[in-house]
Amino acid sequence: MKENLVFCRMLFKGRVQGVGFRFTTQRIAETNNLCGFVRNLLSGEVEVQVEGERNIVESFLEELRQRMKFYITDLDVSWGKYQGKFSKFEITI
């Protein structure tokens, strides 16, 4: 089962601050039992780092994209090795 675990970093661009993006992200992540964080960046982008089973992370990403599609103009996604560095999902500064 551990071989299915992944790390994913997402960088959302567009009008993604001040529209409930972080709270929506947290709700979807917690519903899917994912761990990580979401935060606003000074550049106006929103960064998400998440760890979990790959298929669940992919579903999380797709649901987030669908719910916030009117605010997202671009998205960078990078996948990495699971490190188990998060114990919950939270909004950070």
Positions marked catalytic: 22, 40
The candidate with the shortest Cα–Cα distance to 83, out of 19, 27, 7, 12, is 7
What residues have CB less than 8 Å from 89, skipping those under 6 apart?
26, 29, 30, 34, 35, 36, 37, 38, 50
What SS3 class is residue 49? Answer: strand
